[in-house]
Homo-oligomer: A and B are copies of this chain.
Amino acid sequence: MTKINDRKTEIITVAAKLFKEKGYSAVTMRDIAQAMDIKAASLYNHIKSKQEILVLIIVEIAEEFTQTMDEVVHSEESTIKKIEKIIQLHIDITLRDANALACLNNDWMHLSDTELAYFIKMREEYEENFRTIIKKGIADNEIKNLNLEVIIFSILSTLRTLYLWYGKKKSPDSKTLTSNMIQVLLNGIVIH
């Protein structure tokens, strides 16, 4: 990787952390430069605007989610296996890049027109693909015939906000996290 790309990665990393702490609107290019211990003018050598940073943070991760979901929905596996893969995808990205996920969740609405439309399209397709998976599971008698939206968003809400709590004091290790998350989301918590 060239030095310029290293610098860009550093900007993105620092900015994602600041956006997470203070929110996109409250952070200035000057804040980002200060956190990197460089002059604001130097920052503009690498990046056009705060908006460009936001796009780099959010769109890259959204595309990663989109691509993996596409593979999963078109695979020949059982519904249970497909859901397990989606749980694993969210856990992997959370462990790797929690600040960027926070930024995606909190600040996506600050993307400008074209990028915003692209992001929303990806997000809707992701949810629609997840619906397709669950519908097939219900048809195949693998999944209970409950309301589709409740199923979809109970699972997605849990996965999308994992970054909010995972890593705090009482968190389990990543292996326990994965196996227990699959247990809780698929089989519930009640002993019958």
Contact = CB atoms under 8 A, between A and B. Distances in A.
Interface of A: 21-26, 80, 106, 109-110, 134, 141-144, 146-151, 153-155, 157-158, 160-162, 164-165, 168, 170-172, 176-177, 180-181, 183-192
Nearest to A151: B189
How would you classify the secondary structure of chain A's contact residues: helix, strand, loop or mixed? helix
B186 A188 contact: yes
Given A23-B23, A149-B165, A157-B157, A142 B181 contact: no
B157 A161 contact: yes
Contacts of A190: 80, 142-144, 186-187
Contacts of A149: 165, 168, 170-172
A158 B165 contact: no
